[in-house]
Amino acid sequence: MTDPVLYAVAGLFVGAMVGLTGVGGGSLMTPILVLIFGQPPAVAVGTDLIFSATTKLVATGSFGYSRRVDWRIVGRLALGSIPGAAAVAYWFWISHRTPGVIEHVIARALAIILAVAALAMLLQYPLRRLGLRLTSVWIERAERFTLPLTVITGLGLGAAVTLTSVGAGALGVVALLALYPLRLTGDRLVATDIAHALPVTVIAGATHALLGHVDLHLLVFLLAGSIPGVLLASRATVKLPAILTNTLVAIMLAFVSQRMLFGQ
């Protein structure tokens, strides 16, 4: 059995990244569980979703107390993400009796979404500049299209998170930067993304738990490290250069993506 201290250290690292950037709950923890600790993909995803839900609950409480969450945007995303999560959950229920299908789909989907997330994070500032340009030229039209685009974005995020535990942070932050370049900046961006991710990870985590994809022993030690990490980091968000932390996360995501595809 892997040393519980190593699980706690992994939780501390990922919790800190969640608090700093809004990214890491699934994007980093699931590959860590698969590649370093040798967990099956379905168990890694299921355990990570419960881990992420708990971590994000703590972070949302911290951000909500300081009034940094834009709840209107959270509601718009949830209009799409909750049905998206429910659709993938239904697929799990009708597929779980076929041996190997879920494991294979999760492993491949995880590698692909990690690669997309890495690219999206590297392009987030050009995308934000594009969003600013479009908003300044077509303010009224931009607002008209922002609502349906936000719901569609939520739909994709809900499906991706339930399938792989990845997307709520890595892709959500980038999407919000492009859709709301004036309204969301800095710590409000991270806070809003984390608050939206909470109900999606709860739904997805509950589905995996019912299917037996959660290792409770592992989960306890991950949380022992992550909760202090996210509390400390969420308070430091406004003081750290986002471009630095986001670039480092993108590099890590690209690395673990190619390991998931070619290194297992």
The predicted structure's pLDDT at residue 170: 72
Q: What is the mean pLDDT of residues 201-223?
A: 88
Residues 105-120: pLDDT tens digits?
888 888 888 888 888 8
| For residues 166-191, average pLDDT | 78
pLDDT of 137 above 70: no
Greater pLDDT, 186 or 165: 165
> Residue 29 pLDDT more than 90?
no
Q: Kindly report the number of other CB atoms within 10 A of residue 170's CB atom.
A: 32
- The confidence score (pLDDT) of residue 227 equals 79
Mean of per-residue pLDDT scores for the chain? 80
Going from N- to C-terminal start, the domains of the chain cover 4-263
User: Per-residue pLDDT for 191 more than 60?
Assistant: yes
Asked if the model's pLDDT at residue 238 lies above 90, the reply is: no
CA distance 95 to 162: 14
DSSP-derived letter for residue 66 is T
CA gap 230, 245 in Å, rounded: 15
Both ends of the chain: CA-CA distance in Å? 20
Report residue 239's pLDDT band, with 50, 70 and 90 as the boundaries.
low
Global pTM?
0.80
pLDDT at residue number 81: 93
Helix (H) or strand (E) holding 18: helix 4-21
CA distance 239 to 114: 27
pLDDT at residue number 175 = 84
Of 252 and 21, the structure prediction assigns the larger pLDDT to 252
Least confident interval from 9-23, 118-132, 230-244 = 230-244
Per-residue pLDDT at 5:
86
Confidence of residue 63 (pLDDT cuts 50, 70, 90): low
Helices within 123-138 (DSSP H only): 124-137
